[in-house]
Chain A
Amino acid sequence: MSEHTMHASSGRVSSGRVSTARVITAAARGALADLRTIYTPFTWTVGWLGRIIMQVIFFALIGTLLGSRDAVIYLFVGQAVMATVTECFMAIPSTTWERRTGTLALLTAALGPMWPVFVGRSLQWLPSGVATGSIVLLAVGPFFGVTWSLSAALLVVPALVVVAVSMYAVALTLAAVVLRGPRWRNVVSNLSVLVVMLLSGATVPVTTWPNWLQALAQVLPVTHGLEAIRVLEVDGVVREVWPPLGLALVLGAGWFVVAGCAFTLFGEAGRRDGTIDFAE
């Protein structure tokens, strides 16, 4: 329900509500400031990208142990895409920063829903995650036998964007739950990355798992995004990637709805029992 405010100087009446897009944009500016605080170009390149490259190489070397070139490529591509997911899942701890800084209570008291703030607040992880995955797949991958046709290479980055955006929605859903117990933020973030890694086909095919776990894997957008990227790497057939990428986007949209509901429920519960405070 909108509220109307009379401006003393102009006599105009405004609705007092700010558009959702403006809220997300404003929160995104904060996210950009966070990114500049966390990383310099040097620390991002050496401290973060270097670590991810070594992680991907660690898994690719398993293929060497198995004596299988196909396994090297399978594990390399899987881990490169998981690097993007890992960074998106940093939205789980960064969402809880609002509670630690004491701004969560203000957000709850503010007019309008809470979820647009949280959608914009952790957006910094998406471009970083896409950049990490892209560099690993396109620049480092060829050293491990990962090859791309020109058309496939051009589609890798958009495919990673789809993975990042859709998995960001999954991360926000988990973040809304973790807001209730922020001390578990790093455990939930890291555990969920491992679960996604297991189920999505990053290390072993999805069909390895029992039927009920396979069903769970199907609702994860990255399962389909990773499938699309593997098709690009193996066949380079562009038209075959649209269905899985489209499905990933649809699933991501669904997860955004779930995340919005979760944040709304959190806000309502907090107002009801007065538990939104500075608690760790």
Chain B
Amino acid sequence: MRVFLAGWRMQLWSMRGNPDWFLTLILAPLQTVVFVTIFQHAGRGDLTSYGVLAPALIALWGLSLQTSGELITRERENGSLEGLLAAPGRFDVVMLGRISAVTSLALLAFVECWLTGWLLTGELLTITHPVVFALTVVVSAVAMTGWAGVMASVFVLARSARTFQNSLSYPFYVLGGVLVPVALLPDWLQPVSRLVFLSWSSDLFRDSLTTDRVEDLVVRVLVIVVLGAVGFALSHHLLHRALRRVRTTGSLAHV
């Protein structure tokens, strides 16, 4: 636990003073304006909740993709990866703490988007099912942490993957149904989107804001947990492969 918290604190401290780390949080309010004004112009105020939730989910994914995905690579470039691996604390626990810090920070986007929606519409979006909402936040954040670890390891194992880092955003926003529900995607695409935990999270978040009863809550939460667990397992496996490779090739200290 101490190692986890040390990684957590270290990540938050290292992010100070560099606005690039917070880019997605800075953009989230304007993205809210983009989506909500589209719905307002179309006379669909009933879709305001979609326009408020989407940028928050985009920030959650985007911050993890851009920030967490860079963690190991940045340590190599800094020349500090050797020291981290030589330290007595488990490296994977340190990384987990750091990635969790980033994911937690991304949750601030929910507050930003809520307030922006309030400014635009004059009404604060009501969370009709707060327990469902809170539960979805927790399991989604944990699942995101697992998959962020996958990204961090992939960017070490496959240098060319960084070239495609930017392109891992919008495909997952579409597959994840962050703004337009998966049910509106072509039939052939829906099974694929169901493998993305974000699609289950998006639907649950939207359902928690409606007055209707939330159907199949336990099953849907379990699916997010299972998909998140897959992410953690894959992250663990890939991290060890990445570290074994850099040790074997002697490239701990450089990219």
Contacts and interface: CB of A to CB of B under 8 A. Distances in A.
Interface of A: 43, 46-48, 50-51, 54-55, 57-58, 61-62, 64-66, 68, 71, 75, 183-184, 186-187, 190-191, 194-195, 197-198, 203-205, 208
A66 B44 contact: yes
A183 B17 CA distance: 9
B20 A208 contact: no
Contacts of B20: 183, 186-187
Given A58-B173, A71-B42, A204-B38, A194 B30 contact: yes
A203 B34 contact: yes
A55 B160 CA distance: 22
Interface stretch (B106-114, B138-146, B163-171): B163-171
A56 to B, nearest CB: 9
Contacts of B166: 47-48, 51
Given A47-B166, A58-B179, A194 B31 contact: yes
Given A43-B160, A47-B166, A50-B171, 4 more contacts: A47-B164, A51-B166, A58-B174, A186-B23
Contact of B170 (A51, A64, A68, A197): A51
Taking chain A's interface residues, is the majority helix, strand, or loop, or is none over half, making it mixed?
Answer: helix
Contact of A190 (B27, B44, B169, B181): B27
13 contacts: A47-B163, A48-B166, A57-B170, A61-B174, A64-B180, A65-B180, A183-B18, A186-B23, A187-B26, A194-B31, A195-B30, A203-B38, A205-B41
B190 interface: no
Interface string B147-191: 000000000000010011011011101100001110011000000
B41 A55 contact: no
Interface residues of B, number: 34
B34 A198 contact: yes
Nearest to B35: A62
Contacts of A55: 169-170
A197 B33 CA distance: 11
B34 A54 contact: no
A168 B75 CA distance: 35
Contacts of A190: 23, 26-27
B174 A65 contact: no
Given A43-B163, A64-B184, A186-B23, A208 B31 contact: no
